Structure 1
Amino acid sequence: MMHSVPKTMTAVLLTGHGGLEKLVYSRDVPVPAPAAGEVLIKVTACGMNNTDVWVREGAYGTEDDPSAVSTWRRHGNTLTFPRIQGTDTVGHIVAVGEGVDRARTGERVMVDFSIYNRDDDSLADIDYMGHGRDGGYAEYMALPAENAHVVATDLTDVELATFCCAYLTGERMLERARLAAGETVLVTGASGGVGSAIVQLARARGAVPIAVARPGKEAAMLEIGAEAVVTRGQGDLTEGVEAASGGRPIDVVADLVGGPLFNDLLKILRPEGRYT
């Protein structure tokens, strides 16, 4: 069935750095036209990242002044206002640009939000949709066709919209740490988006995840695959991890908290273990 694309849409516009007053809900934003090699999707769900908040606040600082107003991409900034934020986007293709197979119309897709400015594997010049170009806080979004990945799953669009940023971060952490099947990984901040992703991604690798989480999250951690849970702030962390692991060495620490936990985590890590 062909989808009738309107000329205007509702969207949330970021109009500058600052508080929530810089987000403007508008009903008459022009619907983008897909350029050559692009598709237009009707957005059905879009997650919110802390990156969206920090970019709005200009909270990334600089090397010389951590309190300076600065956005995510400090070298060669691509953020202009107004900007439609929103990275973790799911939707259906409703139109295609020149050079894209019209048969793609109607596909249910998940958006890879990365803007790859180089042809190699380096991430030194990477950008993202919602920063360098408009994202998914709108009814429609145009993007490169290769960034629209078909999904076939029973998960809802809302569930899928929690995946991309958190799971991408977790996957990169475990790749860097070279987590292998049979190894034990300790995950701090395990009840958050990235932490819960790491627990599941570790299981998918055949590794054994032990979660460190705040009180009240223990059952949820076990449900998604944690072997055991250490409740943060209750007793000595080193002793808690040793009990939870049954004395198994901790091969990898995937740390999403840092701060005062850092020294204990280094002590918990086995000799020649990996910290990410």
Structure 2
Amino acid sequence: MKGLPSKMAAVVLTGHGGLDKLVYCEDFPVPDPTPGEVLIEVAACGLNNTDVWVRQGAYGTDENPDAVASWRRNASQETLTFPRVQGTDSVGTIVGTGSDVSAERLGERVMVDFSIYNDDGDSLADIDYIGHGRDGGFAEYLVVPDENAHVVDNDLTDAELATFCCAYLTGEHMLDRAQVQAGERVLITGASGGVGSGLIQLCRARGAIPYAITSKAKLEAIKALGAEAVGQVQQRLVVR
């Protein structure tokens, strides 16, 4: 696109295996947005367990748990091809738009919803994600569907925002599927992890009441996040 480089730095996954399968290069093509897409200059991209397990091929299959397989697990539904730029949890600025996307989006600071929705359902069998089925944010630029780029306007740094995407979206999907309503109580185990700590705040945002379980060292921190009460791991709890 006009005014933008044709090549970029990227970390490229070349196959399943160890860290040797990740190759840093400085001449990877900058993608062009097609209709319905935007080009983002990446400011930060988080690393989560899915990136690691996909690289390792650690998901197995129903027939063979030890088989080398990526997130989709079923070879007939595989969307991962190599080379692939991973990176799901991306934050950056829109610097290019597809032909049918408003140029008013240029300059927006955005967080990327990494999910690729293939239909209107919420089954994981029908969802792929950016960094797996298409290139992600371990690069200077990435292209995503226009609807996946959400404007953010706050004082958090780019690096801080890049810790939200996978954990908080996972937590929000959990609450949606459980149809959690205002006033209901929710018990959150592993509350100090990314998803758990996000769930505490997301419960409060919808008016639900979060109760949490965590380790002794993190009791006060989890209470400060908004948990109604916090129990310690392996502590006998009675809820009345």
- The interval holding the TM-score normalised by the smaller chain is over 0.9
Q: What does residue 160 of structure 1 align with?
A: 161
Q: Deviations over 1:102-127 (max 9, x none)?
A: 12111111111111222x23434211
- Structure 1 runs (4+) deviating above 4 angstroms are none
| Aligned positions of 1:72-91 closer than 5 A | 72-75=71-74, 76-91=77-92
SS at 1:216 equivalent: helix
| 1:130 corresponds to 2:131 | yes
Q: Which structure's relative contact order is higher, taking Cα pairs within 8 Å and 6+ residues apart?
A: 2
Query: Structure 1 residues 64, 158: CA separation in 2 closer, same or farther (over 3 Å shift)?
Result: same
Q: For residue 59 of structure 1, what is the aligned residue in structure 2? A: 58
Distance 1:199 1:151, change over 3 A: same
- Aligned partner of 2:228: which letter? E
CA deviations 1:62-95 (Å, max 9, x no partner) are 1111111011013310101110001111110111
**Shift in Å, 1:177:** 2.2
Q: Residue type of the partner of 1:189?
A: G
Rounded to whole Å, the distance in 1 between the matches of 2:57 and 2:90 is 23
> Could you list the per-position Cα deviations for residues 140-173 of structure 1 after superposition, in whole angstroms to 9, with x for gaps in the alignment?
0011112111122222222221112111111121
Contact 1:3/1:94 (<8 A) preserved? no
Instruction: Report the RMSD for the aligned CA atoms in angstroms.
Output: 1.7
**CA deviation after TM superposition for structure 1 residue 139, in Å:** 0.5
2:167 is paired with a residue whose SS is: helix
SS in 1 for 2:126: coil
Per the alignment, residue 117 of structure 1 pairs with: 118
Cα offset, 1:3, TM superposition: 8.7
- Which ranges in structure 1 are unaligned for 5 or more consecutive residues? 249-276
Q: SS of the residue aligned with 2:191?
A: coil
**What's the secondary structure of 1:91's corresponding residue?**
strand
Per-residue CA distance 1:2-27 (angstroms, 9 max, x = gap): 99311111111111101111111111
**TM value normalised by structure 2:** 0.93
Instruction: For 2:91 and 2:233, locate their aligned partners in 1 and report how far apart those are by CA, in whole Å.
Output: 34
Amino acid in the other structure paired with 1:5 = L
SS at the partner of 1:217? helix
Q: Which residue of 1 aligns with 2:67?
A: 68
| Equivalent residue, structure 2, for 1:95 | 96
> In structure 2, how many angstroms separate the alpha carbons of the residues matched to 1:62 and 1:9?
35
After superposition, the C-alpha distances for 1:29-77 in whole angstroms (9 at most, x for unaligned) are: 1111111221111001111111111100101111111111011013310
Tell me the amino acid that sits aligned with residue 90 of structure 2. T
**Any unmatched runs of 5+ in structure 2?**
none
| Aligned length in residues | 237
What amino acid maps onto 2:160 in structure 1? E
Question: What letter is aligned with 2:91?
Answer: V
